Structure 1
Amino acid sequence: MCRERWRLPNMAALCESFTLCGLGPGSGVGLDGGLLALEPGPDRDHVLLTDRGRTATLFKVSDQKPLGCWSAKHGQIITCPVVCNSETHEYIAVHDDKVLRIWKNTDVNLDKAFKATLSADVYRIHSLPKGGPVVLFKGGGVRTLDVLLEAPQQEIENIISDEVIKWSEAFMEREQPVLIFATEKNGDSFVYVQKLKMNNLHKYKLEQQELSKALSFTAYIKNQIITLLCLSSNDCVYKFLIPLQQNMEEEEQILPRSLLLNLSVSGSVLKGTSFVVLDKDHIAVLGSLATAGEESKECLTIWNTKFQTLQTSKELPLGTSGQIWCYEKKFFFTHGKVLTVVIYKCETSSLAAAVGKLKDSQAPDVSSFVDWNNLGDEELVISFQSQQSVALKPESGMTDASTTVFENELRQVMSKGQMPDFQATIGCVVTAIINRCKANPKYYPRNFLLQIVENQDLSYSLCPDLMVVALEKKDLHLLQICLQRFPDIPEEITYACLKAFLSISDAYLQRIDLNLESVICYLDIELNNKEVKTEIVENGFSTELEQDIWETKITKKLHVTGDSESCPVGPQKAALLNAILHSSYSETFLLPHLKNLPAQQAVLFLRYLYYLYVKCSEKITTTLPGTCPPTVNQIMDWLCLLLDAHFSVMVMLPEAKELLSKLHKFVRAQVRFYSELNKIEGSLQELQRLNHQKDPHTYSVEVLELI
């Protein structure tokens, strides 16, 4: 029986599609057809296509054309997908299971490329950024390419015996190559994790549903934890968590599974064949959508795993091979006798998208919510793998030594992330620590709290007193991280942070360690370069332009001096205020608090918002440079909020009058600028309409004068 699902506005969509290339015989529809693989090329716009035969082709996706094609000679078969070495831009392939080939883009004849015959059959080669290629053999042995080339005939160990490898993937974690592969034997699935530099191998058995079979795997890594996703034959997607840090060697561990997604909605069931992860809240599944009494239809679907909803789907009437790949916000899959590319987009999955203002799309949000009925109020007992336990009560009198032991053991628990309600558990630990901070003012493990907030997907609701205590301690770095990461901060706390940031002097802030990534790219030039420089304004106008600016010729270049508008705050305070601009809020609840902001602080904040608005308007893109800077919409929303809350005060303050006048002139100039652009757009559209009405065989030259 299908579950009823709460429908939210679509946070994912399938956009335009196009054909990349035609497919040869044997590469079309059906599970026996398809391609050997599709891999990233040497450039973000390139992909490497390997067919089930002798040929590998490099395509430029945006131009839909091949850049190079290489074929093995007759009688040879490429048995391992071609990959590109991201460091050397060389291509690597294996034909006939054991023959390794390496060539460059300028090489034409594959038969004349570098050749090495290996001692064992190769399953797959994975190319890692900054880590070089990694070779996985069919017997489970793993070698880096440079080690393998030193002695191609070296003996390769047989690890998996009579198991068969079904899937593999490789990652770089803390500059260390990590390879994971899944095997099958007698209906059971196993997973191996190999850390190459440490020569450390762990084997796991996957907990499975009876009468179900693993169809497809994918995985990603974060905070020393591998998240393995499995598409099962019972129309479900399951999640397994694998910690990279292991304290004891065990022969074989059983990995518990948790249901991530049930592929059914509104009486229809999706029989998935393959899937890919788009982000932490979205997956794409290729398969057949079956409805009772109707013929099943192959389709591409995007699902929201947080809200358990089908976001969008696209029917594929010509059939597919059941394979799908995803690179650079594009899907690649066979459709009939061609390889199709579909562009997609995904938005952050958060209730803030429907209520209040949404956080910036680059900021992380909480990955899941928990069963609050399972949480303890007074104490939290964490059971460790060594069968020890740590109980942390607010009133407990822990010594420095015991505190250090507790923090070290808790770090080990956080690296595993396998316990039920893991986020809630960490939230309870943070709450217990904060309660102890309240009871003992001398106790405040700042670095430990900062590490937890940076590495765990927490929320304000899971540790509600954390930001309150951080405000009392003036822990600005922790407040900055919380504002960037917590999606559910109450407007009262956001206002308290804003007031605290504006009241602290720049001299004090210079001694504080803060993250300046959001400001350094547009503040460093002005802070370090005192010379007056001339810059062409591409979009927007100087606030000192006169009313008659539009009487000048359109071709006149507008200039503004670099010191016409300087940042009113230092980089540290700017970074803190940017964190405020990124926070989620509802205008109804925030506005009453903003009215209590002291007048001088309101003017300072308005000056900074005005400065950001001018900076955004200097370029055509209206986007500030740097990592996760404020967007023009966020700046405008806060400008309007601040003026709504303090307009009567602003018009009375002498220092605010000039600022308001400059803001008024600047906005008016931009309105006129966009108005002229709209006129030009209308004229061009009219031209296009007139051209369509004329005889296309008649040649003429016309001059259009815009007045």
Structure 2
Amino acid sequence: MAALYEGYTLCGLVPAQNLTSSGVHGIKSERDDDHVLITDSARSVTLYKVSDQKPLCSWTVKQGRSLTCPVVYNSITKEYVAVSDNKVIQIWKEDDISLDKAFKATLSSDVWQVHSTQGAEPVVLFQRGAVRFLDSILAAPQQTVEDVLAHEEDLRWSTHLVADSQHCVIFTTEQKGDHFLYLQRLNPNSLQKYRLEREELGLCPLSFSVALREKHICLLYLYPNGRVYQSVVPLRAVGSDDGSQTLTLPRTLLLSLSVGEGHLEAASALILDEAHVAVVGVPHPSAGAGKDFLCIWNIHFQTLQAGKEMAGKIYGQLWRFSNKLFIPHGKSLSVIRYECPKSCLAIAVGKMRQARIEECKGPSSVPSWSNVLHGEKVEPPRTADARKTRMSRRTQSAPSLSIEQILELIKTEPVEKVQQEVGAFISSSNTTDLQLVAGRLASALVSRSLADLTFYTGGLLSQLVQSRNLCYSICPDLLLLALEKRDYFLCQLCLQFFPDIPEAITCACLKAFISMTDSDANILNLDPASVSFMDMLITKDNAQDGSQNGCSYTSVKNDSLEIMDGAVPKENTQTPLEETCPVSLNKAVLLNEILQASYSENCLLPHLKDLSSQHALVFLQYLQFLYLKYSQDAFPQRKELRSPTLNQVMDWVCMVLDTHFTVLVMTPEAKGLLFKLHTFVKSQVKLFSELGKIGSSLQEINKMKAKKEIGQYSIEIIELY
């Protein structure tokens, strides 16, 4: 999952007196991503080395002048380029102390911005839409430039990129409520004009961001209503290439963010990679009003993956260089390092190694978020159950209460009334509608339960979790509430269906499950498939002889004699197959959910250290029990039963030993357990060593070329050594 790490302040800010502007005119990279140029809205530009958090140089234009666009760095000539008073271009080197003696050239038209990309010649974008290379402008500063934009059409945003040695300047404009996108290609020159689709109520985009993907330009833009759209623009010219033909630019809705009451005023969305978008100035789904956050959303899976509250006012500005985000807030400019792993389902939901987990859950009729956002209708599978469901829904009346009325009812009505009305609302809502409101319902129920100790609706929360329309980030207090109320069935459901549970919460569940008494565990009503698996595992009369998968009793006994030189402790003389489960059945079922939970090892280990030595010992004993059962050839692996895999068991054994080895070595009760685990590991090493030899032999056989003279039938002898 994506992550935001601890940030630091790069420099202080001097915001405008009305607090509408941060005072930062722009941030541009210099020789590399560790050096940035920060242009303030007054008269100065400063070069910072980000990793050292200190300024290296600073330059200021003389009194009476002002910098009208961000200063850029020309990586070819190692010079800085600035525009003052809209028409004066100034160029200087790092060694120059004063700008009074720097090169100056006064142009014939106002400049909107100078753009520069590493290793490419800078380009100049004029306020009326003309684009020129910097060198051609400096050769004749007073040359006349054409007006590309129509009357009353003004520039709003621009950027520059280089694809396959071709420069592309992209800028947006506004004319009487209509918004346009221009794509100016240089060498050879061509201009393409697109019209953006109008948003409801005539809203104007708050921010734009672009990325180059497979010879297409992806444009991302955020509206004040919280909707984030994406448009794809081909690099190759389409139709007329002189800008006379205006094409309609199709768009795709990527995110529909909740903005609360009213509209956003200062917000920004920035592309991080193909799957992740950074958003600032949009309320966090689980935070109260008045709190400003920087968030990372996964647009493929529609999940909030990371969030960090920013102190002070947010100005809607956000820049990215390498793996660092630059964000002005309050009176400081912060640098926050982020990480976005490659976007695939396995990584988006964490370390999910069990390949058959979806088979255990059964088919799902929930449509994808993309279909919900795009308004496409998805028909559920045409099964008998589906037909029965549709027929039963026809007989039900439409819900008598709206979602807003339901939310108000949850705040004040008693438990019985809430259970009746909310339960009816959930039952009568179709899949798409419930998908959109499940988070709001869960948050309202959890908030009421936390505020009122006498109020708790575990059944409704379980129903919402089982609908698979929730994740941890949508309602982070839900699982904590279940632990507080000791609703372990709800905890089990959350562990099964939430793909984004933090490692700290996973460890909190582990401690709660191990600490639970057997008497409390025996009265729990848990998932039948999980209970069936453990019941089969504990009560099945497995064969007592024969070999196991890499762990036969004979090999274990011989390994034990080798290690202990014949001095085997009494507690280790029993056959491993005679091991009994060290915990009760229901407690084992809950521990199995922990083993199958998503996690990142680096994040999990620090929290795993909080387990007491006694709890770690019990957990290891249970893991040893699972390992022995899984090692038996007679043990049936049934896909329809929800169960951890052998790899998951071994991973947790390694992590628990890594975090508690010193304490366990000094604990007398753990001596026999550690001895057995050592023999199991040794037998596994032997098994994989032999498998490696076989694999190498098979590879060599595969490389051997077949003889052409071999007929339809032949016998060959291949010696393996």
TM-score of the superposition, structure 1-length normalised? 0.49
More strand by share: 1
TM-score of the superposition, structure 2-length normalised? 0.48
